[in-house]
């Protein structure tokens, strides 16, 4: 069965520092991959998705993710964290023809 693993349930960075949120998936066939962000008491908002057109995917709010098939990874990065980036981040995989499978989430804290 497909699965998604997010390393680190909580990540803390200083404002202006690099943000790196890790996501690994299990699949023999590259699935569709997504990153969502959830602010407190809100629904999920799509940050970016992997379409197989390019391995480096740029999303909203300055985030990007790189698909690495050899590592089965889809890590999310942002060069410089902002206070407003503090939220829960979910990596999700959708096997072709299947349902969306979420990782357990990573809570990002940004220190002033």
Q: Does residue 103 bind other proteins (CB under 8 A)?
A: yes
- Please report, as residue ranges, which positions from 18 to 77 form the binding site for other proteins (by CB under 8 A): 32, 34, 36, 41-46, 49, 51
Contacts with other proteins by CB under 8 A: the residue count is: 24
Diameter over CA atoms, the chain: 43
Strand partners, 91: 35
What's the rounded Cα separation, in Å, for the pair 68 and 73?
A: 5
Q: CB-wise, 81 or 89, nearer to other proteins?
A: 89
Q: Can you give the C-alpha Rg of the chain in angstroms? A: 13
- Contacting residues toward other proteins, per CB under 8 A: 9, 32, 34, 36, 41-46, 49, 51, 90, 94, 96-100, 102-105, 107
């Amino acid at each position: 069965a497909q699965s998604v693993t997010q390393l680190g349930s909580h990540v803390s960075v200083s404002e202006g520092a690099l943000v790196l949120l890790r996501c690994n998936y299990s699949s023999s066939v590259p699935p569709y991959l997504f990153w969502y962000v959830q602010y407190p008491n809100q629904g999920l908002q799509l940050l970016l998705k992997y379409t197989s057109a390019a391995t480096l995917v740029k999303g909203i709010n300055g985030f990007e993710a790189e698909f690495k098939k050899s590592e089965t990874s889809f890590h999310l990065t942002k060069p410089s964290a902002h206070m407003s980036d503090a939220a829960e981040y979910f990596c999700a995989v959708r096997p072709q023809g299947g349902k969306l499978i979420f990782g357990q989430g990573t809570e990002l804290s940004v220190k002033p």
